[in-house]
Every structure is written in structure tokens, then in C-alpha cells.
Amino acid sequence: MPLVAGIDSSTQSCKVVIRDAASGELVRSGRASHPAGTEVDPNAWFEALQEAIADAGGFADVAAVSIGGQQHGMVLLDQEGRVIRKALLWNDTRSASTATELIDNFGAEYLVKNTGSIPVASFTSTKVLWVTRNEPENASRVAAVCLPHDWLSWRLAGYGPVGESKSGPHLSVLATDASDASGTGYFNPATGEYLDGIWQFILGRKPVLPKIVKPGDWAFAPGEGTDFGIACGAGDNAAAGLGLGADLGDVVVSLGTSGTVFAVTETRVEDPSGTVAGFASASGNFLPLVCTLNAARVMDSFASLLSVSHEQLADLALAADAGAGGAVVIPYFEGERTPNLPDAKGAVLGLTLQNNTRENLARAAIEGMLCGLADGFAVLKSHGVAAKRVLLIGGAAANPAVQVSAAQVFGVDVEIPALGEYVADGAARQACYALTGSAPAWPVEMQASVSADPHPEILQQYHAAQSSIYQS
């Protein structure tokens, strides 16, 4: 059977998986690192992509490829297809003021209704406006605006700057998908159209924007620059949901550097508070998502504080009772996005001479991290999102104390998929769909499951501690 490749071009690295199109079996894989920072030359991503492809044994026998990429990142191109300036990534916060400017100009109600979300500093629209306000010479050169996975697909297909690419700077063939476009702040995921009025405000004109390619369709057909076809791709969270086989009733909780809670829904969620981002999914549905800034690093911090490994941190936490004897960790070490408290700090509350133990501190750290995400989980449910089970992913999901606490904090069954590259896997599924004409039903291995064990007192004491510092 033919082989398909999925690519995950994330903030930190590029991963490639090559799978059998029929069975989904992993054949081989590769990876390469990305430079650190919130402002990165996109050419470094393309070099890493080529390195990761080589590490995976190349694409000579691959029939179809798709790229899942970090959302929101702003890539600006001039008329000759050259990158105008370094890409501003999702975690670059210099555009916080222009996010406020967009809200003040258009109003929260208009933005939620027409883009699905209220813009924050991570959104592409805020970054383009920042360039307009602060780098007018660069703004005047903008011929096209795209996202990391759009640009990489274009380059992989052979397009690029004059004199540096096989097929040249044909900006009109740039392509993306609805899931990635839905995180820009200038695309309507309900209608599938870009918003001219927002472009007039942020740049004074509408540049070339990537065409929207539907799931199952080619962004670049086989023979169009490469022997293999390139499918539409996806934003990273949408690709992860696809790789997990997430369906209606599933809520995905991802514990990475940041934390995300998202679900696949048939109807769009419109949240005027801005807590829920109304993105599109990679399957043609919708992907309401809540993001927190503090996730796995909370555990890193407390493991360091207690001078233990992550395994030992789990042992300590499991030796404590649910609720940590009343000790509460407010995990806002990097400020917080949900709730919107960019200047907040972390805190430990409720300590007494009786509960001030290593075990309780370990338990409180894990519960605090999960409570922050549980608030996002509750917001999704308040908008009618079905929540039959939680799929827990990310490096921290393998921690047994996290698994047990998640079933207690969320109060539903928790399943932990085997460790894998689910963004790349989702992209591989898209490649298979474009190649075969049908979405693959590849199995997803689960490494653990924990039955629901509701302990509402954990969230109750967390909220009491939270409100004692941050009055709503």
C-alpha cells in the first residue's frame, strides 16, 4: 500500500511521521530542532523540515504529505516571494495593545460573530496591525500574508523567492485550511470567507491570502511541483484532534508548555466573554478551544522545589489525599490567559502546620494545574459542548498522579492515549484522505484509563483561594 507523511512544524521542532495509508502503521519517522524565541526567520523552519524529512528516510516512496503547524504565526511576503521580516509567533506578546485596538474599533460582539473569537496578542491580525503601527516600511512591502504551515506547504511544493526556488514566487497558489485560518482574526469560519473590513483597518488594503482548501482536497496535486501531493494541512490543535480520532462527546486536554482544552462540535460556539476561541476543526466541523499559559511547567517547578524527579513527584502526590489537606496552588507562574490575568503571579494558599507536607505540596501543584484547565472545561460545557470523556495528552499526561487527579477534578472518564506525535498523525490522516478519497479509520492506542471519580471539593477550595486574591 502507498505511504503517507504527516508533518508537525511546532514552536520547538519539526517532526515527520510516515505511515502506511491502509493500516496507519508507523513505518519510519524523523525530527529536527527549531531555533528558540518568539520571533523566528521562517527559513529556519524550512531548513528543519528538510532535515527532518532526511532523518525520516526521505519522501521518494511517499505518495501524499500534509503539514500541521503552530497556529497564528505571521509570515509576511513581498512581491518576489521573499520573507519581509522574521515571523512573529503565537507567543510573542508585543501585539497586546493592538489586540485591544481591534476590540475597541470593531467591538467584541462583531468580532465574535464574524471571526468566532475575541482577538488576543497571539492572533495574526494583531501582529499585522502591530507591524503597520511600528514598522510602516515593512507594512508597505506586504504582498501576501500567510501562516507557518501555509508557507511551508508552498515551499515544499517548489514555490518561493525569485532565484531561490524551482517554481518561483506565485503568491496566488498559497493555500491553507479553515482550522488554521480560523485563528487569524480576519477569517469567518462559519462562511469560509476572509473579512475585507478588518484588512482595511489593519493594513489599509487586502493582500494576497491563502485559498481555503477543504479536508480531502489537494493544496498542491501530485505532479504540481513534486511527485507527491500536498494536502490542505491544519493548525496544530485541530491536527492533534484529528490524530486522536476525537469525535463528538470527546474533550481533549493537552498538557504541554501551555494547556489547552478543546472539543469537536457540529455547531460553532460564540463566547462574548472571549474565554472560548471559536476555531474550525480539521474535519469540517468546529473546534471551540480554551487556552491556559501554565501547564506542565507547574510540575517542573514543584519537582525542582522539592528536589525530586517527576516520577517521585507522582509518588508524593499519590501519597496525599484528594484536596491536599486544604493546600491550594494558584499556578499563574507566567501570568494567565484564562482567566485574562497577564500580570498575575503564582501562589500557595491554605497552608497550616498540619498540611504543610511534601506530599500535599506535590498534590496541590498537580491539582492547581488541572483546576486551571477545568475552568476552561466548565466554560465549554456551559456552551452546550458534550463531555462524555476526556482524552488527556501531552508529556505530563503519562504521570499517574495527573491521571488520577484528572478523573477527580473533571469528574468524567479519562483516557490517556499512548505517547505519540498526534499533530503529525493528524496531518498524515489528512494526506491519506486526499490520496484515497476517504478519511482513514486508523486505531488509536490507549495506554491507560481512569474512571470518573468526582471530587467537587477540589475545585471549590481552588475557587475560594483564587477569589481571595483576584476578585471577579
Residue that finishes a domain, picked among 206, 232, 258: 232
Burial environment of residue 414 by CB neighbours within 10 A (0 to 12, 13 to 18, 19 or more):
buried
Residues making up the chain, counted from first to last: 472
Segments in the chain below pLDDT 70: 472
How many CB atoms within 10 Å of residue 140?
12
- Considering the domain architecture, whether residues 226 and 268 belong to the same structural domain is answered as no
Residue 237, domain member (yes or no): no
* Same domain? 327 vs 469: yes
Is 168 a member of any domain?
yes
Question: DSSP for 149-166?
Answer: HHHHHHHHTTB-STTTSS
Bridge partner list, 229? 64
Measured in Å, how far apart are the chain's first and last C-alpha atoms?
Answer: 57
Residues 195 and 255 in one domain: no
Q: How many CA atoms lie within 13 A of 260 on its CB side?
A: 19
Long-range contacts of 46-55 (CB under 8 A, 24+ apart): 46/152, 46/155, 48/9, 48/13, 48/14, 49/7, 49/9, 49/14, 49/152, 49/155, 49/156, 51/14, 52/7, 52/14, 52/15, 52/16, 53/5, 53/16, 54/30, 55/16, 55/29, 55/30, 55/31
**CATH number of the domain residue 20 falls in:** 3.30.420.40
Residue 427: its pLDDT value, please? 98
Q: Give the residue carrying C-alpha cell 519522501.
A: 59
Together in a domain, 16 and 165 = yes
| pTM of the full structure | 0.90
Domain termination residue (choose one: 208, 232, 256): 232
Query: Are both 159 and 218 inside the same structural domain?
Result: yes
* SS3 of 387-410: CCEEEEECHHHHCHHHHHHHHHHH
Task: Please give the helix or strand (H or E) that residue 192 lies within, else none.
Answer: none
- The pLDDT value recorded for residue 110 is 96
pLDDT of residue 202: 98
How many angstroms separate the CA atoms of 104 and 96, rounded? 13
SS3 139: helix
Query: Has residue 238 been placed in a domain?
Result: no
User: Do 155 and 177 belong to one domain?
Assistant: yes
Q: Looking at the structure, do residues 145 and 289 belong to the same domain, yes or no?
A: no
For residues 206 and 336, membership in a common domain is answered with: no
Q: Which residues are catalytic?
A: 236
Query: Among 232, 256, 282, which residue terminates a domain?
Result: 232
pLDDT digits (tens, 9 = 90+) for 91-108: 898 999 999 999 999 999
**Measured between alpha carbons, how far is 214 from 150 in angstroms, rounded to an integer?**
14
pLDDT of res. 394: 87
Count structural domains, the chain. Answer: 2
Nearest to 334 by CA among 324, 326, 323, 342: 342
- One domain for residues 444 and 312: yes
Q: Which domain holds residue 290?
A: 245-472
**Do the beta carbons of residue 396 and residue 295 sit within 8 Å?**
yes
Residue 446: inside a domain: yes
Residue 239 resides in a domain: no
Q: What local confidence, expressed as pLDDT, does residue 224 receive?
A: 84
pLDDT for the residue 35: 95
**Is 240 domain-assigned?**
no
Evaluate whether residue 198 is within a structural domain. Answer: yes
Own/partner contacts of 18-23, CB < 8 Å, gap of 24 or more, are 18/56, 18/57, 18/62, 18/428, 19/425, 19/428, 19/432, 19/442, 21/63, 21/64, 21/432, 21/435, 21/436, 21/440, 23/442
Looking at the structure, tell me whether residues 219 and 264 fall in a common domain. Answer: no
Residues 100 and 198 reside in one and the same domain:
yes
For 78-89, write each residue's pLDDT tens digit.
999 999 999 999
Same domain for 111 and 180, yes or no, is yes
